[in-house]
Structure 1
Amino acid sequence: MTEPIRVLCTMGLAGVMNDLIPRFEKDAGHKVDAVFKPANMLVVDIASGAPFDIAMLTAKLLDDEIARGTVVGSRLDVARSCVGVTVAPGAPLPDISTVEAFKKTLLAVRSIIFTAQGASGQYFASLLPRLGIEKEIRAKALIPDGGLVAQAVMRGEAELGIQQVSEILAVPGSVLVGPIPADIQNYTTFSAGLAAKAQNVAGAKALLARLADADTAAIARSKGMETF
């Protein structure tokens, strides 16, 4: 029996892969075993010897793995995403149209959630000192290591969430207020590569080819991402 294709996938591409995997399995006849975590946590797993056939990380972190020799060949850039804002269904949509409006919204809400290990959460954390509101926001912030913040917002655990637009839209029923203002926006490119110690090389190469095709690009765009 053919081994499943083991994929270590960043949360930024979770929505894309959740749609793509069933189609790929049906079309190609390969099974996919995917683990979804923030890219920084997956890097720790790789360093600890976690087995995988394909790594799907931020472009920078995948380049690091190529340099270390854990990933071989060229980097496949799948899509890029920007940082967005989510609130609970039925809640008033806050004003995030300008940097000043976004700052006022952040100060006005009772609670905020962003992740400690995700690319968007780390960027947002670095943005707070620039906005001059780090102390105020951290005092009312919920900061888990990872996960989809829109789920926590929908459960009422926080009033407002900050995460990649693609991750917000990966949660059924979530509300995307919109991207944060262009003047302070940050884009993250998500990429894929073949493991140096891949067990199912043929299956992994087939999935990488699928990740580069028009069908995957269309799925990514439906998740609020930009393709190349």
Structure 2
Amino acid sequence: MNETQTPITVISSMATRQILNDLADSYTRSFGQPVTVESVGGVEAARRVEEGEAFDMVVLAANAISRLVAAGRVDAASRVGIARSGIAVAVAAGAARPWIDSEAAVRNAVLRARSIGYSTGPSGAHLMRLFERWGIAEAIQPRIVQAPPGVGVGALIARGDVELGFQQTSELIGVDGVDVIGSLPDAIQAMTVFEGALCENARAGEAARSLLEFMRHADADTAKHRYGMEAVR
């Protein structure tokens, strides 16, 4: 079997699941090269690559890619920006929508919420820092629900476990039973850059390099916008 027949294997965090599946399908249609994408919790994805599990390409937040570079598990020269994403706020479909047009409004919405959902990824870490800075972390602790790795905050909202949820926009868009209110205001927004890189034990390295270029090309921008993400140039 030559490399063009070998599926390119990609592992990623859940934040880029939809966009990577979309782009992988487009790549296969254009070049006839099969691509398999496995999306799991970001911490698990990084661990599996660091432990040497065989993948051709990994897509994670830039800081996680940096750690894999330091560990010698990915090719530093191959890393490229795939997309950037901000944090959105969501409630159950049809539920009342709190104001989130300012930092003060978001803080008030959090204080009034019966329960607050956040993720194990970069958006969750940012939220926890905000709660600490606002001086409310201890007060709301009993009402905070962290989504398990690989489970979206949207799923918790849809089944009624969480009243107010925060996560990467791409992970909340299109989730059944969820209304995305909007993005965090600029003053408290945190943009996460997701990068792709070739794994050091890639079996379809040249094909994966071609896929990386395809994913960062301007022709992929429309798909990124569809899932609430932006291009990285």
TM-score, normalisation: structure 2: 0.90
Please tell me the residue identity of whatever aligns with 1:25.
Answer: T
2:86 match: secondary structure: strand
Deviation of 1:84 after TM superposition, in Å, equals: 1.2
**2:8 paired with 1:5:** yes
Please tell me the residue identity of whatever aligns with 2:196.
Answer: A
CA distance in 1, matches of 2:174, 2:204: 28
Runs of 4+ in structure 1 over 4 Å off: none
CA distance in 1, matches of 2:139, 2:53: 39
* Superposed CA offset, 1:161-191 (max 9, x none): 1101121115356321111122221111000
Please tell me the residue identity of whatever aligns with 1:134.
Answer: A
Find the partner of 1:139 among 139, 142, 146: 142
CA distance in 1, matches of 2:177, 2:218: 26
1:158 match: secondary structure: coil
Q: 2:194 maps to which residue?
A: 190
Find the partner of 1:217 among 216, 221, 228: 221
CA distance in 1, matches of 2:66, 2:200: 13
Q: 1:31 maps to which residue?
A: 34
Q: 2:178 maps to which residue?
A: 174
CA distance in 2, matches of 1:56, 1:37: 11
Please tell me the residue identity of whatever aligns with 1:98.
Answer: S
CA distance in 2, matches of 1:88, 1:118: 21
Distance 1:4 1:170, change over 3 A: farther
CA distance in 1, matches of 2:55, 2:160: 36
CA distance in 2, matches of 1:221, 1:214: 11
**2:212 paired with 1:208:** yes
Q: For the aligned residues, what is the CA RMSD?
A: 1.7
Q: 1:155 maps to which residue?
A: 159
**2:100 paired with 1:106:** no
1:124 match: secondary structure: helix
Kept in 1: contact 2:59–2:195 (CA 8 A): yes
Unaligned runs of 5+ residues in structure 1 are none
The residue correspondences of 1:63-82 to structure 2 (distance < 5 A) are: 63-72=66-75, 73-82=77-86
2:78 match: secondary structure: strand
How many residue pairs were aligned?
Answer: 227
CA distance in 2, matches of 1:185, 1:11: 20
Deviation of 1:40 after TM superposition, in Å, equals: 2.5
Please tell me the residue identity of whatever aligns with 2:135.
Answer: G
Distance 1:173 1:204, change over 3 A: farther
TM-score, normalisation: structure 1: 0.92
Q: 1:55 maps to which residue?
A: 58
| Percent of aligned pairs sharing the same letter | 31
